[in-house]
Amino acid sequence: MSSVLNLQGNHACALAAIAAGCRFYAGYPITPSSEVAERMSLELPAVDGIFIQMEDEIASMGAVIGASLGGAKTMTATSGPGFSLKQEHLGYAAATEVPCVIINVMRGGPSTGMPTRPAQGDVMQARWGTHGDHPIIVLTPWSVEEVYEQTMRAFDLSEALRIPVVVLIDEVIGHLVESVDMARFKAVKPVERKWADSKKQGFQPYAITEDFVPPMPRPGDGYRTHTTGLTHAESGFPTQDPETGQRVISRLLDKLEHHNKLVESVEQTDCEDAEVVIVAFGITARAAQSAIALLQKAGIKAGLFRPITLWPFPDQSYASATRNARLVLVPEMNAGQLIVEIERYQKDGTSVVGLNRYDGEAIAPQQIVNKVKEVLQNA
Amino acid sequence: MSEIQIRFSGSGGQGLQLAAKILASALALEGRSISMSQSYEPTSRGGLSRSDLVVDSSAGYPLVTEIDYLIILDQLAVENSTGMIKSGAAVIVDNERVDAPPPGEHKTSTLPLVQTAREVGNIRAANVVSLGAIVGISNICAQKSLLQAIHDTVPSRFVDLNLEAFKRGYALVSANREEDPHLTAVS
């Protein structure tokens, strides 16, 4: 039988979660993410996993954290308004370093917005939706195949680094059906959590280790542990001591910096000598990919910089990709969010221009081509 | 193979998503690569609904930009496709539900798609009558593949109805081809 499947993005997400070892899903269905929950409800019982539809998004995020502390690989899926509700517990997962994967299939906003229409309005919410200085990883697939790949990777990063990972998908990619060759995923081995195996006497659940990732105590192994959203010392118990607070929060934030090579993931197309670099993710990057081919035909040196890992933003790769650029165009299906991050790295001689659409339709390749030509003509 | 872009459009509840799904399934049987996307309203009935297929994409862009084959089963879907129809495209509109087809340099044919579904026994089969018309015009896949896809996709109690709807849609094209030279493949 052929290994090529006609697969929907949301279904790819569910299948990848199962392949990565996810055995617990709690959620509250919401368009356009509902097919993730639907598919998980079919797949999980078949692998002795647990699917639970909770009373709301807050409770489902709580259940995901609890199950992860209990030793399971866990996931939930939602969209804009539901993602807002998950933020409180998302911060708790970041602070307590509980691995979990959150799928956000973006729809039009603000508030309940346009439920069936695509948008990319959660760029900043994914980074800063929960309060306080917290580490988070956000991945942005641009195809059904990459939804599968990046969902698996989300589990691997989450388990390896003890950090919540958000997979940020737009409605177009979530509902898109593409022919995907599954053969390459057969041999992929998921990453497993680093469990504590040190002496039980004097165990420190949040000890500062060389790799900044403290091993987790496995329930039943007999370690004494304590989990709290309050700022906690290496012992796991709350502290208000300034020196300790500074030290433990620094360790939490340094963890991502230390593992930057593992976390960063970008794709660059023809950026080396590009005068025009388009920065885009998700379906908008697919449009940009088509657009650079059209621009190159018209004699314009155009390239595409695609941050697959959107947060932490891959600043050094971005700087290198745009070193020869006169124009950086940032098309996004929102009123200008990613561009705010890009502007932080703006240098003399390069103009940064946005192309924004928030009417519930995707940005088309020709729109990007037209915008580039318009800006170059007026320069 | 060169890229082909197909759109089924109308109002919510006319089975437009299913039509594209059946065609995608038939094309998969023949080893063709597809991208299928859609747009619909939060309501389960009414409002603009469309389902798009890009077959054998050359540029890697999964959404339609220049439609080769377009089905319109309701007037409210006309505006949404205007400006995206390729010059020379085959546009098929329903004779009851579409009064003003999209203007432009394409080949428009008006066919009794809904009426044919009614004759087959269920007005909701207009989607599969349309599929018959699309396959009849474009020869995009073998009839056999499409009949198999119907078997694989629709609930068993509706298989016979849909097979009949498909054949009648296909026959509509061959019966009208002499009078209507528009009912030919897009070159």
Model confidence pLDDT, tens digit, residues A165-183: 999 999 999 999 999 999 9
Q: What is the mean pLDDT of residues A200-211?
A: 95
Contact A177 B41 (CB under 8 A): no
User: What are the backbone dihedrals phi and psi of residue A334, each rounded to the nearest 5 degrees, phi first?
Assistant: -165, 180
Is residue B180's pLDDT more than 90? Answer: no
In a domain, A175, yes or no: yes
Give B38's contacts in chain A (Cβ within 8 Å): 175
Contacts of A176 in chain B (CB under 8 A): 35-37, 62
Query: In sequence order, what DSSP letters do the residues of A75-107 get, joined into one string?
Result: EEEE-HHHHHHHHHHHHHHHHHT--EEEEEEEE
In this complex, which of B28, B34, B60 lies closest to A290 when CB atoms are compared? B60
- Residue A93's CATH number: 3.40.50.970
Cβ of A283 within 8 Å of Cβ of B59? The answer is: no
Residues in A closer than 8 angstroms to B37, CB to CB, are: 172, 175-177
Q: Do B41 and A176 touch (CB under 8 A)?
A: no
B63–A177: do the CB atoms touch at under 8 Å? Answer: no
A250: Cβ contacts below 8 Å, ≥ 6 apart: none
- Is some CB atom of chain B closer than 8 A to the CB atom of A115? yes
More confident residue, B58 or B65: B65
> Which residues of chain A make contact with B66, given a CB cutoff of 8 A?
none
CATH architecture observed for domain B4-175: 3-Layer(aba) Sandwich (3.40)
Contact by Cβ (8 Å): B66, B5: yes
| Cα distances (angstroms) measured from residue B128 to each of A315, B159, B168 | 51, 11, 9
Q: Hey, are the CB atoms on B34 and A178 less than 8 Å from each other?
A: yes
Of residues A2, A175, A362, nearest to B38 (C-beta) = A175
Taking CA atoms, what residue in B is nearest to A8?
A: B36
pLDDT at B1 over 80: no
pLDDT at A187: 87
Size of interface A-B (CB pairs under 8 A): 63
Taking 70 as the threshold, does the pLDDT of residue A47 lie above it?
yes
Place of tokens 């997400």: A13
Q: Over 70: is that where the pLDDT of A98 sits?
A: yes
pLDDT score of A127: 98
Q: Do A365 and B61 touch (CB under 8 A)?
A: yes
A370 touching chain B per CB within 8 A: no
| pLDDT (mean) for B47-58 | 94
What gap in Å lies between CA B62 and CA B55, rounded to an integer?
Answer: 9
Sign of the dihedral through C-alpha A55, A57, A58, A62: positive
Interchain contact, B35 vs A6, CB within 8 Å: no
DSSP bridge pairs for A139: A167, A309
Would you say residue B45 has pLDDT above 90? no
Residues of A in contact with B59 (CB under 8 A): 289-290, 293, 365
- Tell me, yes or no, whether A273 lies in a domain: yes
B interface residues, A as partner, C-beta within 8 Å: 21, 24-25, 28, 31-42, 59-63, 65
Mean pLDDT value of segment A342-371: 95
User: Based on the domain organization, do A306 and A175 belong to the same domain?
Assistant: no
**Which residue among B37, B42, B65 sits closest to A365, beta carbon to beta carbon?**
B65
Backbone angles phi, psi at B85, to 5 degrees: -95, 125
Query: In terms of residue numbers, what domain contains A311?
Result: 267-378
- Indicate the residue among A166, A185, A204 that finishes a domain: A185
**Are both A21 and A141 inside the same structural domain?**
yes
* Residue A51: per-residue pLDDT: 98
Out of B28, B34, B65, closest to residue A364 by CB: B65
Q: What proportion of chain B, given as a percentage, has pLDDT over 90?
A: 87
CATH number of domain containing A298: 3.40.50.920
Burial environment of residue A279 by CB neighbours within 10 A (0 to 12, 13 to 18, 19 or more): buried
Q: What is the three-class DSSP state of B104?
A: coil
Residue A50 token pair: 């647990």
Q: Which residues contact A154 (CB under 8 A, 6 or more apart)?
A: A20, A101, A137, A139, A165, A166, A167
Boundary-marking domain end, from A136, A158, A185: A185
**Confidence tier at B18 by pLDDT (50, 70, 90):** very high
- Tell whether the model's pLDDT for residue A1 goes beyond 70: no
- Per DSSP, B23 falls in state H
Q: Domain check: are A23 and A143 in the same one?
A: yes
Number of domains into which chain A is organized: 2
Residue A131 to residue A86: CA distance in whole angstroms? 12
Considering A150, A185, A220, which residue would you say is the last residue of a domain? A185
**Interface residue A362 vs chain B (CB under 8 A):** yes
**Confidence tier at A347 by pLDDT (50, 70, 90):** confident
Q: Do A289 and B37 touch (CB under 8 A)?
A: no
pLDDT number for residue B175: 87
Residue B176 pLDDT: 85
Distance from CA of A116 to the nearest CA of B (A): 6
Are both A271 and A180 inside the same structural domain? Answer: no
Q: Does A289 touch chain B (CB under 8 A)?
A: yes
Q: How far is A292 from chain B (nearest CA, A)?
A: 11
Question: Does A21 share its domain with A136?
Answer: yes
Q: Which residue of A has its CA nearest to B21?
A: A177
pLDDT at B178 over 90: no
Domain ranges in chain B?
Answer: 4-175
Which string of b and e fits B33-47 if b means at least 16 CB within 10 Å? bbbbbbbbbeeeeeb
Question: Could you tell me if the ipTM is greater than 0.85?
Answer: yes
